[in-house]
Amino acid sequence: MTARVAAVSARRGHHFSKTTQSFIRLVEGMGVAGDGHFGATVQHRHARRKDPTQPNLRQVHLLQQESLDALAARFGALGPGDLGENILTQGIDLLALPAATRLHIGAGAIVELTGLRNPCVLIDRFRPGLMAACLDRDATGAIVRKAGVMAIVVQGADIAPGDSVVAEPPSGPARPLAPV
């Protein structure tokens, strides 16, 4: 299966879930136009209180459909945007990609992975038990986060469901994704 965009979502303001759209506009260095996390500096409420001058490494939230399906099997129906993702992908293991991987989406958009989404208490307010389901432990006991990945926009363009997604690994040694 060729990797593709399954759905796109955005929502003004700071809300847990986002509204499914027919397309979203990615803006270089800023994120998703019309979304609560749009901006060059940090927009995440908790991080912004600490230091509002930090660069925004969470401009775009991506989640794979396969993860959403696995969670829905345990917690009931979950739709695109329910977990706050801007881009729902299909056919690509986002969590396995290294930091700085560039995803070429559709005819011209490029996003660069900055890290893992760190699930917070809001996920349990949306659906009790979901936070624990988005966390796991590997063989060494280290926490594994499964709530999607975060990215910055390197090249803007409109993207829509059905657009292709092609991963370009970073040059040099691979660094694993870490929470941002």
- Give the burial class of 23: count Cβ atoms within 10 A of its Cβ; 0-12 exposed, 13-18 middle, 19 or more buried: middle
Distance separating alpha carbons of residues 8 and 61, to the nearest angstrom = 10
pTM above 0.85, yes or no: yes
Domains of the chain: 4-168 (2.40.33.20)
Give me the half-sphere count of Cα atoms (radius 13 Å) on the Cβ side of residue 17: 12
What is the distance between the alpha carbons of residues 87 and 164, in angstroms, rounded to a whole number? Answer: 12
pLDDT tens, position by position, 37-82: 999 999 987 787 888 899 999 999 999 999 999 999 999 999 999 9
Provide the β-strand partners of residue 100. none
Residue 49 to residue 68: CA distance in whole angstroms:
30
